[in-house]
Amino acid sequence: MQTHHDLPVSGVSAGEIASEGYDLDALLNQHFAGRVVRKDLTKQLKEGANVPVYVLEYLLGMYCASDDDDVVEQGLQNVKRILADNYVRPDEAEKVKSLIRERGSYKIIDKVSVKLNQKKDVYEAQLSNLGIKDALVPSQMVKDNEKLLTGGIWCMITVNYFFEEGQKTSPFSIDDA
C-alpha cells in the first residue's frame, strides 16, 4: 500500500520514517483521522472521569486527533464539557431524570441495553446509570443497532419525557437525535 507521499506503509519502522523526514504523528492523523488517540490524554482524563476507557478514547479521537497543540487543547476542553454535561453519574441519576422531565428531553451518555416487551409489543431500554428500565425505543433504532439487544452499548442518546394521565407506558423514551 502506498500513500500519496510514496511512503511504503508495511515493513517500515518508526525510526526509518523519522530518518526520512516524515512525521509519524502527522501521517497517522492524516490517514486515520478521528481514530488516533494519544494515550497520555486518555490517562489524564481517566483520572477525573468515571467512564469506560473506550468512551473516552472515542471522544478524544473525535476532538483531539491532531498534532497541533492548540487543536488538542481545544479538543480536551470540548471532551471535558461533553462529559460534564452529558455523562450520567449513578449518584446523580435522580437529578438528571428531573432535568429530563423539566426540559422535555436531554442528551446523555450511558450504557443502553434493549429488550422486547412482548406483552406490550414494544422495545424497552434499560439505561444503566440513569436507572430507567422501561424507556420506549423506536423499532428502527433497534434494527439499525442490533447490539442494543445483546448486552447493550455505551452511547450518546436523547432521552425524552412525556407524561399523560392514564398512559400505560413509561413517560421516558429515547432517540438518537
Q: Is residue 98 part of a domain?
A: yes
Total domains in the chain come to 2
pTM for the model: 0.77
For residue 104, CA distances in Å to 31, 101, 148 come to: 41, 5, 24
Strand partners, 136: 124, 173
Q: Is residue 144 part of a domain?
A: yes
Q: Is residue 20 part of a domain?
A: no
Q: Is residue 162 part of a domain?
A: yes
Same domain, 98 and 166: yes
24 compared with 168, residue with greater pLDDT = 168
Q: Is residue 14 part of a domain?
A: no
Q: What is the pLDDT of residue 107?
A: 97
Q: Whole-number mean pLDDT of the chain?
A: 84
Domain of residue 104 covers: 90-175
Domain boundary among 69, 86, 103: 86
Nearest to 176, CA basis, from 140, 133, 150: 140
Please count the helices (runs of H) and the strands (runs of E) in the chain: 7, 5
Q: Please, which residues have CB within 8 angstroms of residue 136's CB and are 6 or more apart in sequence?
A: 122, 123, 124, 125, 169, 170, 172, 173, 174
Same domain, 82 and 96: no
Same domain, 100 and 147: yes
Same domain, 133 and 168: yes
Whether residue 108 contacts residue 156, with contact meaning beta carbons closer than 8 Å, is answered with yes
Instruction: Copy the grid coordinates of residue 9.
Output: 506503509
* pLDDT beyond 60 at 79: yes
The residue-averaged pLDDT of 88-116 equals 97
Domain boundary among 86, 112, 128: 86
Domain boundary among 86, 104, 124: 86
1 compared with 169, residue with greater pLDDT = 169
Q: What is the pLDDT of residue 2?
A: 36
